């Protein structure tokens, strides 16, 4: 994921937090996690995030499918692989 795409994704997610400047990130080896938002995302924003390469690792997705907007779960966070 490019810095441009990562920043664009964060700018989409930021308004969905009660405290947009709070601590909403975590990281492991090659993944940056953005914690679940306080408010559900609009469908257009979910699609934009997917198009940028963000996914929800813990969303329920059938084994033969890849994550897409149809599997969005507002209770789950987002992941950006770097």
pLDDT grade, residue 36 (50/70/90)? very high
* pTM across the whole model: 0.90
Cα distances (Å, whole numbers) of residue 39 to 14, 26, 55, 82: 10, 19, 17, 26
Q: Tell me the average pLDDT across 46-58.
A: 95
Residue 6 pLDDT greater than 90, yes or no: yes
Going by pLDDT thresholds of 50, 70 and 90, the confidence category of residue 76 is very high
Separation CA 34–CA 18 (nearest Å): 14
Cβ–Cβ contacts within 10 Å for residue 79, how many?
Answer: 18
Beta-strand ranges (E) seen in the chain are 25-28, 31-34, 78-81
Candidates 79, 76, 80; CA nearest to 40 is 76
Each residue of 24-34: pLDDT tens digit? 999 999 999 99
């Amino acid at each position: 994921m490019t810095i441009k795409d990562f920043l664009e994704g964060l700018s989409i997610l930021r308004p969905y937090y009660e405290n947009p400047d709070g601590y909403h990130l975590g990281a492991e080896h090659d993944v940056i996690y953005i914690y679940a938002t306080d408010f559900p995302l609009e469908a257009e924003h979910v699609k934009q995030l997917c198009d940028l390469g963000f996914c929800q690792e813990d969303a329920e997705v059938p084994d033969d499918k890849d994550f897409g907007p149809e599997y969005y779960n507002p209770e789950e966070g987002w992941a950006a692989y770097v």
